[in-house]
Amino acid sequence: MSEHHSEERGKTTVGKFLMAVVGGLIPVLIVVFLITKMVFDTHERDLPASPAVEATAIAQRIKPVGSASAAAGAAAPVTAKTGAEVVKAVCSACHAVGVMGAPKIGNKADWAPHIKKGYATLIQHALHGFTGAKGTMPAKGGDPRLSDLEVERAVAYMADKGGANFKAPEPKAAATAAAPAAAAKPAGGAGALTLGKKTFEGTCIACHGAGIAGAPKAGNKTAWAPHVAKGKPTLYRHALHGFTGKTGTMPAKGGNPSLSDADVKAAVDYMLSLVK
C-alpha cells in the first residue's frame, strides 16, 4: 500500500514539474515570436522598392496641393466700360443730384464754367482729384479700379450732356514688346524735358496747374522763388518722398506711386525750366 502511494506521489511531482516547464516556456516562445516578427517586418520595409513603385511614391509625395489647368489660368480679355456705364456705376452718386458742388448731369448752367476749362483739364481733375471753391472731386470718383480710359470716357459723356462736344477717346493700341523702354524715357536734355512735361500734364498739373493746396503755380516765378532757393536736390527729395511746409503739403510722387524716380525728377526739371 505504501509503495502504491509513493508511486502516485512521484507521478504527481513529475506532472507538476512538466507543467511548470511548459508554462514557463510559453511566455518565452511568445516573446521570441514577437521579436522575430518585428525583425522581419522592419527588414521588409527597408528593402528597396521597384523603380515603378518608388517613382509613384515620390510623385505622390511631391504632388502639389492644388493644380490649375492652362485654360482656366488664361486671362480673359478686359473690355473698358463706356462713359455711360461708368457714370451710372460711379459718377452718378454725386453728379446725378449735384452734391458736394458736383455739376449736375444735364444741367448746362452747372457745366458751363467747367467746360470752359477744356477737356484736358477736366480729365486731370477727374483722374487725380481737385478741390475748388464749391467742393471736392475725389480722384477717379473714389473708385481706383477705374482705368484712365474709363474716366476720360465718363468725363466726355457728362460734359457732352451739359453742352460740350468732347470726343470720347478710344482704347490705345498696345505698345509692341520689342519697343525699347529707353525710347519712352529719354536720359537727358530736351528729351528729359519732354518726359517732364508729360509727367507734369499727367499728374502734377492737378495742383501746380492752378496753384492749389499751397503748390507753387507752374510758370509763376514769384511763387517758385523760395523753392528754387532751396536747390534742386532738395526739391527732388521733397517731390520723391513728400513734404509738409507752412503753406501746404506735397504728397510723395504727387500722389502717383506708379511714377518712377526719373519721371518725378524730370517733372521737377520741367517746372523749374518754366521759371528760369
- What's the number of CA atoms in the CB half-sphere (13 Å) around residue 66? 1
**Per the domain annotation, does 170 fall within a domain?**
no
**Per the domain annotation, does 106 fall within a domain?**
yes
List, for residues 88-134, the tens digit of each pLDDT value: 988 888 898 887 788 999 999 999 999 899 989 989 988 998 888 87
Q: Are 159 and 108 in contact (CB under 8 A)?
A: no
Which single residue is written with the C-alpha cell 466700360?
A: 81
| Integer Cα distance of 170 and 193 in angstroms | 27
**Per the domain annotation, does 58 fall within a domain?**
no
Contacts of 212 by beta carbon, 8 Å cutoff, 6+ apart: 130, 131
Same domain, 208 and 146: no
Same domain, 152 and 197: no
In terms of residue numbers, what domain contains 114? 83-161
Using the 3D structure, point to which of 161, 189, 221 is the last residue of a domain.
161
| Integer Cα distance of 211 and 217 in angstroms | 4
| Integer Cα distance of 69 and 90 in angstroms | 35
pTM above 0.75, yes or no: no
**Per the domain annotation, does 112 fall within a domain?**
yes
Same domain, 188 and 265: yes
**Per the domain annotation, does 246 fall within a domain?**
yes
List, for residues 56-73, the tens digit of each pLDDT value: 444 454 444 444 443 344
Residues of the chain with pLDDT > 90, as a percent, come to 11
Three-state helix/strand/coil letters over 249-263: EECHHHHCCCCCHHH
**Per the domain annotation, does 186 fall within a domain?**
yes
Using the 3D structure, point to which of 132, 161, 190 is the last residue of a domain.
161
**Per the domain annotation, does 94 fall within a domain?**
yes
List, for residues 200-239, the tens digit of each pLDDT value: 887 888 788 877 777 888 889 998 888 888 888 888 898 8
Mean residue pLDDT across the chain = 74
Q: How many domains does the chain have?
A: 2
Same domain, 191 and 263: yes
Q: Is 229 exposed, middle or buried (0-12, 13-18, 19+ CB in 10 A)?
A: exposed
Same domain, 115 and 157: yes
Using the 3D structure, point to which of 129, 161, 193 is the last residue of a domain.
161
**Per the domain annotation, does 57 fall within a domain?**
no
| Integer Cα distance of 166 and 151 in angstroms | 13
Same domain, 106 and 136: yes
For 244, phi then psi, to 5°, come to -115, 120
Q: What is the CATH classification number for the domain harbouring 93?
A: 1.10.760.10
